[in-house]
Structures are given as C-alpha cells and as structure tokens.
Amino acid sequence: MENPTTRRKFIGNTSMALAAGSLLARAQSPANSKKLVIIAGKPSHPAGMHEFNAGCLLLQQCLKDTPGLEVSVHPGHWVKEESVFDDADAVMIFSDGGDGHPVLSGEGRSEKIQKLVDRGVGVMMMHYAVEVPKTGPSGDLFREWIGGCYENAFSCNPIWDADFQSFPDHEITRGVKPFAIKDEWYFSMRFRPEMKDVKSLLVATPSDETRDGPYVYPQGPYPHIQAEKGREETLMWCVERPDGGRGVGFTGGHFHANWGNEEFRKIILNALLWISKIPVPASGVASAVNAAELSANLDKK
C-alpha cells in the first residue's frame, strides 16, 4: 500500500517542477514578442501570377524561426475573425486592389485598419494591393498609412527588367546584394506631396521602350510617362508615421517564381520584420527555398 506521506511529497514535488518549468518557459519567451498578420488575396490571374496564398505561406515559412515573432496567414481576401487584429503589431496585405481591395471591399474594414494605425500598428501593401480607386478618400488613407499608392492612369504597370545596383542605408536593405529581375513593376506612384517622410528602398530606371508601352492595363502609353524618359523610379518605399507605426509599399510580386530569388525575397522578409518592430539582422534575413517549396500551395487555376 502506498504511503500517504510519500504520495503528498511526490505530488508536491511534481507541482513545483511543473511550476518551475512554466516559469522557465515564460522566461525564455521574449517579453517583447510581436504578432504579424498576413492577408492573402483570393485567386487571381493565370497560374504562376498573383499567387497570393502560396507567396504568403512561403514568406511565413521563411520567418518561422525568427525569435519573438508570431506570423499568421489568412487566405480568402480578409480574416475570418477580426479579433485576430486585437493584439497585432503589423499587417501585410498581398492581394488584388482597386475597387476590389480587401480593405475597401467590406463594410468597416478601412475604419478597422485606421484604428490599428492609430495605435501604431505597421502596415505593408504588396503589388496590386498598393492600388486604390482614383476617386474617393482611399488614396489619402494609403498615403497616410504607407506613404503612397498606385493611381489609375497616373501610375502604370508594364512588365520589365528592373536592375537594382545600390541601396540606401536602412534596416530593410540590410544584406541585400545587387540584383536584376523581371516583374510587373509599377511606377509613377502617387506619393505624399514632395515625398514627405517617404524613403525610397528599391529604385530603378525604366528603359525608353518600357515607358513607350505597352503597359499591362490599360496598354497606354501615357504621354506623362513617356515625357520622363531617363528618370529613376521608386518601386519600393517605407515611412515612419507620427503615430509610431511603420508603413511599406512594394510594387513587385506579380510572378510567383521571383520568390526563388534570394535578394528579392530578402528585402521583403527584412521589411516584414521592420514593420513588426523586430530588429533586422546585420546581414538581413537568411532563408532558403527549394523547388518543391516554391511550387507548394499554388491556387488551382
């Protein structure tokens, strides 16, 4: 028969061990851990293009070992439960835009993002998600949130090879080496007046042929785009807002295969840490993606 005294000692010792283990787990968990919410747009465009869900899941995988960062991916153009935003530190959206933008196509969504911005939450928009309708207040909202946006008939969307040979000194550009890559690089963005507080991160010069069109849609060319031949264009940028939050806009991301390029991938991973207020490593975020990972989670198109 078991000795009651021995049993009480065993239970007591076990409870103390569990409590100690719990305290140790809490001690090892970063006190300033951050939460990044990623929203992936619904299926769009032919296979291999606008693979929002696959791209977001790939970025999540590349960040899975980042200490102090929780990353959740929400497919379908919005989150199922808006309570996920309650403790969010940053939100990234990779989706279609314009009239169908996730933030603008549901009642109360822009107000929800504004409330997040008001408390200093980071916001990043990628590719088509930088575009908002030309008329209405959304352009001003995006300029407040991320510094700039795509404006129909003022901006343009040709597919061209952008060559990035130098980068400004910024956390987002840490460890990024010169690279050139073909994408649907939007340019002639509608930024804040005089680009107030906007820092250009990726800058390239479209060729004269690129400016002469055709663009993806509408095909153009636009005279004001042609008139600026030889001018550098900002293709990725960031802002630090007065509310303490951070914003990023990125115009690339049309072709899913581009996530296989280490430099293309690194500058986005760096940006995701930056908007979440996680320090970016001195050499940038290291990641590796193989062919199987690159082809995973593609939409059925």
Cis peptide before 46 (omega within 30 of 0): no
Q: Provide the token pair at 151.
A: 């404006």
Mean predicted confidence (pLDDT) in 172-186: 98
Q: What CA–CA distance (Å, rounded) separates 76 from 80?
A: 9
Mean predicted confidence (pLDDT) in 232-259: 98
Cβ pair 94, 40 in contact under 8 A: yes
Q: What CA–CA distance (Å, rounded) separates 132 from 176?
A: 29
- At residue 301 the predicted structure's pLDDT band, cuts being 50, 70 and 90, is confident
Q: Is the pLDDT of residue 64 over 70?
A: yes
In the prediction, which pLDDT does 174 show? Answer: 98
In the prediction, which pLDDT does 233 show? Answer: 98
In the prediction, which pLDDT does 31 show? Answer: 61
Tell me the percentage of the chain whose pLDDT exceeds 90: 87
Q: What CA–CA distance (Å, rounded) separates 44 from 232?
A: 30
Domain boundaries, the chain: 31-294
Q: Provide the token pair at 14.
A: 């076990």
In the prediction, which pLDDT does 16 show? Answer: 35
Closest CA to 132 of 116, 115, 159, 113: 113
- At residue 23 the predicted structure's pLDDT band, cuts being 50, 70 and 90, is very low
In the prediction, which pLDDT does 136 show? Answer: 87
Average pLDDT, the chain: 91
**The residue to which tokens 């929800």 are assigned:** 112
Q: What CA–CA distance (Å, rounded) separates 186 from 131?
A: 10
CATH topology of domain 31-294: Rossmann fold (3.40.50)
- Please list, residue by residue across 58-92, b when 16 or more beta carbons sit within 10 angstroms of its beta carbon and e when fewer do: bbbbbbeebeebbbebbbebbbeeeeebeebbbbb
Mean predicted confidence (pLDDT) in 43-61: 97
Residues near 275 by Cβ (< 8 Å), separated by ≥ 6? 36, 90, 92, 122, 123, 124, 245, 246, 247, 248
Q: Is the pLDDT of residue 297 over 60?
A: yes
Mean predicted confidence (pLDDT) in 186-192: 98
Mean predicted confidence (pLDDT) in 186-199: 97
pLDDT in tens, 136-149: 899 999 999 999 99
Name the phi and psi angles at 265, rounded to 5: -70, -40
